Structure formats: structure tokens, C-alpha cells
Amino acid sequence: MITNFYIHSQTGNTLAAANTLFGIARDTGGTAELAVIVPSSEQETDPAKITISPVPDCSGADLIVIGGPVHGASATAAVRKAISEMTGMKDKPVVLFVTEFFPFAWMGGSRAVKQMEEAAAARGAKIVCKEIIHWKRRDRQKQLDAFADAFRSVLAAGGSVPHI
């Protein structure tokens, strides 16, 4: 299975979570590729006002993983822009996750994941797993472990069985 990771990370927290999943994808005998989403501006909040280069091409992937931080109770403009321009997502299974500072999903994480889910669905993707990692909670490692287990289940099913 070929798993493509598209990650936007400013502080390294989202990238750290992605690296856990990346290792699992490689350890299960699959091929994994990780691309960092780099916007033309990190401060811009309007996706229409930034560019992502190169535009992510998912056509060769069997499974797509997209992750990013929560900013202002939303998915970052970079993540929203990248998803809106991704090619090759139609009918592909997608795993979504966000990292957030706040300890509760209602403080931005739920909205951010929903924005990502709607954007990916608009591109024809099938969401098979989604997660919110609360970076400053004491049980963060437990959250990461549970997400890793869910990701293993998605990989074991070839991305065809949702684990939501």
C-alpha cells in the first residue's frame, strides 16, 4: 500500500504526530511518502490569498493522510488550500487529523476537522479515520496511541473499512 502524507506544521507538534503514523505505514511493509505543506504566507488566514507549491498530487496513493494544526478554531489556511487543490483524491480513502493546544475538541478541533472533512469530500475523497490530538493534555500520549491503533486498523483493511 502506498500512503501519502501531507502535513502542515509550524511548531513541530503536527509533524511529530505524523511521524508516528509514517513509521507505522512503513513498518507494515507499505511505501510511505511525506510532503510538508508550505504556504506562501503562514500568517494569512484566507486560503484564497495564499499559494501552495507544488500542488499535492495524490494520484499514485492508495491512502492519503492529511494533518495540520488548529489556528483560530479552524484548520489552517494552508491545509484548506492544499486540500482544495489536491489532484487524484477522488474515491481515495483519507485519514484526517489536527493538533491543538486547547484541551477540548469543542475549542476548535472539531470545527477544524469538519472543515478538512468537507473540503476532502468535495474532492471526492472517502474519509476513513479522523482524530484531534490535544497537545497540552496530560493524556496526549494515550490519544496518540489510540490514533495509532486506529491507523493500523485502516492499514490492515487496505483503507477500505472506515474507523471513525
**pLDDT tens-digit series, residues 101-147:** 887 787 889 999 999 999 999 999 999 999 999 988 899 899 999 99
CA separation for the pair 92, 123 (Å, rounded): 10
**pLDDT tens-digit series, residues 36-62:** 999 999 888 899 999 998 788 999 999
Q: What is this structure's pTM?
A: 0.94
Q: Which domains can be identified in the chain, with CATH numbers?
A: 2-156 (3.40.50.360)
In whole angstroms, how far apart are CA 164 and each of 5, 27, 129, 149? 19, 23, 5, 12
CA separation for the pair 151, 148 (Å, rounded): 5
Nearest partner of 14 among 61, 54, 66, 52, judged by Cα: 66
Residue 160's pLDDT band, with cuts at 50, 70 and 90, is: confident
Nearest partner of 67 among 145, 123, 147, 157, judged by Cα: 147
For residue 37, what pLDDT is reported?
A: 94
